[in-house]
Amino acid sequence: MFADGQERVFADGQERVCGTPVGRPVETPVSTRSPDADGLQLLTSNYKHLQPLRGRSLLDVGAFEVVPTDPATTAWPIEHPVENSNTVDGGSTPFYPSSPVPAHMDATVVVTGATGGVGSAVVRAFADDGALVVASARDSGALDELVADVDGEVVGVRADARDEFDAEWLMERAARAGGPIDVVIPCAAVFHGTPGETPLAAESYSAFDDTLRTNARGVFAAVREAVPHLAPDARVLVPTGSVAREDGAGYGAYAVSKATAEALARGFAADLPQAVACVDPGVIATDLTGGRGGDPRQAAALFRWAAGLDAGDLDGATLTRADWRAARA
């Protein structure tokens, strides 16, 4: 049953329970942990990928072909032996400074878009802290590689951020794997164009729809479906960028989507007892930026710091690298 206690019939005509077609076998993941309440083994770094058949809504069927935007960012670009690889800009400031982050002990952290440049760095940062990280992405192959490569406890769940049923399944799996969810970071995002060279008036309807569906509706679905499973002191950290608040030509639907994501974060901050904030790491070198910008680990360190702030300082805020530097001065 889904969270509302109902079975559903999807566009392909198959009934599903928790996103899996009735009667369809589910791969049993390999794990060193005990079975959960449903008898399924919990997934860890040596898991065998659990991939339920995606339950698509009618809006997903035949609408348009989505161009993958982050295949090159699934491999970690910097090897650990590099000199000063654990510091910012090769200096003495560590990427992952200590702070009172819930993930420091037994927290459960959910990251969507986990195979992208920022998402994968965030997964690594929280896993390094000892958190149970539930990582989701559309590309199951890239997700397998990420989970196998991370030192720490990581659950891989194939999920499409655009699909509310996948989001529901993801949060249910996270709660079963690690109990109440302590941190949610919806990193899934697309940019169908070149930054600075994609005027809004020239954007295709399919690109506009998919950008908003992924970057804005995906945030809405992730947070909404996480709500029943959030810990009382949970943190929701929504990635954003300056294009959401400042004029800038050539950022098309991406800028619109980030402005919408910020509005969603403010709305959830007002409505939920848990702290919800936006985190703006600046321009980060990922596939979305054509490889231009800062190290993804700097972005991960910012999320790591934000998750440790007091709720009163975090709720409703938009935090930047400048805020992080000022707090550390």
Q: Where do the domains of the chain lie, and which CATH numbers do they carry?
A: 105-328 (3.40.50.720)
| Rounded distance between C-alpha atoms, residue 40 and residue 177, angstroms | 10
Q: What is the model's pLDDT at position 238? A: 98
CA distance 319 to 237: 10
Specify the pLDDT at position 65: 27
The position carrying tokens 């709500």 is 227
pLDDT of the residue at 248: 85
State the pLDDT at residue 73.
35
Tell me the mean pLDDT per 10 residues along the chain, length 329.
Answer: 38 35 30 31 29 28 29 29 33 38 69 95 95 97 96 95 97 96 97 92 96 98 98 97 89 95 98 97 82 86 94 94 86
CA atoms within 13 A on the CB side of 105: 2
Residues with Cβ within 8 Å of residue 74, at least 6 apart in sequence: 115, 120, 139, 142, 145, 146
pLDDT at 260: 97
Whether the CB-CB separation of 231 and 181 falls below 8 Å is answered with yes
The amino acid present at 305, given as its one-letter code, is W
Q: Which helix (H) or strand (E) holds 230?
A: strand 230-239
State the pairing for strand pair 181-186/154-158: unpaired
Residue 157: the pLDDT is 97
How far, in Å, CA of 241 to CA of 249, rounded?
Answer: 14
